[in-house]
Structure 1
Amino acid sequence: MGWYEGRSLVAYIDPVGIPTICEGFTHGVKMGDVATPAQCDALTRQEVARALAVVDASAPGLPDGPRVALASFVYNVGPGAYNGSTLLRKLRAGDVIGACKELPRWVYAGGRKLAGLVKRRNAEMQICLSGLR
């Protein structure tokens, strides 16, 4: 996750105006918050575990590629956006390839297309499709 999020030990405002720290952690973060590298590591492990749990609950038994890619996606957009997505509807209908191909649609934040999200979603899609074709 850090590859896309970067790491900041000091809280900052993300592109949609949410206080954020570490590798994209937002829950309860306030401007002025500071974290240690060890705290960031713990938060990242916690959030990755939560994202994997969301993916596993919504689509049990996924191959590793889609599971990892979708956990990265959930980590970034949150479970609410994922749970209401066309991507998840396709996944639940058994169209894993179609679900993976939905990822590049998720490149906007605050109404703006972000180059970092374009790169992230393309990488997630490639990981998602790995081993499926």
Structure 2
Amino acid sequence: QQKAYTDEEIAERWVGDIKTAERCVNRYANGFHLPQPVFDAVTSITFNCGCSNMRKSTMYKHLNNGDYKAACNEFPKWNKAGGKVLNGLVIRREKEKALCLSYASSLLQ
């Protein structure tokens, strides 16, 4: 029999998972120096795809080289689960990419 979780337990676990993703971005993708929209988008994909997958990625290499545009353009490549392209992931990655690329407009404000 599966345990039923309360909304509070689910929220606590979700916050913990987000913090894990943030620590990964800060450690492996020079997160402390990223523009906020880039950090947010990269944290989102790291939350979804896992630190071990992302820290070795071309996206993180671009981030560490300061090439944010190239890093943002990596998002669509992460659209598969079980080797199959999933429409939901295509949509999610496009939204994350748009957020990531929005850093240019945020620098003008």
Query: TM-score under structure 2 normalisation?
Result: 0.88
Deviates more, 1:57-66 or 1:109-118: 57-66
1:77 corresponding residue in structure 2: 49
- Within the alignment, does 1:122 sit opposite 2:94 as a pair? yes
Structure 2: how far apart are the matches of 1:118 and 1:66? 18
- Within the alignment, does 1:110 sit opposite 2:86 as a pair? no
1:7 corresponding residue in structure 2: none
Structure 2: how far apart are the matches of 1:132 and 1:51? 23
Residue from 31, 35, 38 that aligns with 1:63: 35
Structure 1 residue runs of 4 or more that deviate by more than 6 Å after TM superposition: none
Residue from 1, 8, 13 that aligns with 1:43: 13
Deviation by residue 1:26-55 (Cα, 9 ceiling, x = unmatched): xxxxx8243111101001111111111111
Structure number with higher helix proportion: 2
Note the C-alpha offset of 1:132. Answer: 2.1
Three-state SS of the structure 1 residue aligned to 2:76 is helix
AA at the equivalent of 2:22: L
Three-state SS of the structure 1 residue aligned to 2:4 is coil
Three-state SS of the structure 2 residue aligned to 1:69 is helix
Note the C-alpha offset of 1:61. Answer: 1.2
Structure 2: how far apart are the matches of 1:48 and 1:123? 18
Unaligned runs of 5+ in 2: none
AA at the equivalent of 1:41: A
Unaligned runs of 5+ in 1: 1-30
Note the C-alpha offset of 1:91. Answer: 1.1
Query: TM-score under structure 1 normalisation?
Result: 0.73
Three-state SS of the structure 2 residue aligned to 1:35 is coil
The count of corresponding residues between Structure 1 and Structure 2 is 103
Q: Percent identity?
A: 31
Structure number with higher strand proportion: 1
Structure 2: how far apart are the matches of 1:116 and 1:42? 25
User: Is contact 1:97–1:132 with CA below 8 Å preserved after alignment?
Assistant: no
Three-state SS of the structure 2 residue aligned to 1:84 is coil
Structure 2: how far apart are the matches of 1:111 and 1:67? 27
User: Is contact 1:51–1:74 with CA below 8 Å preserved after alignment?
Assistant: yes
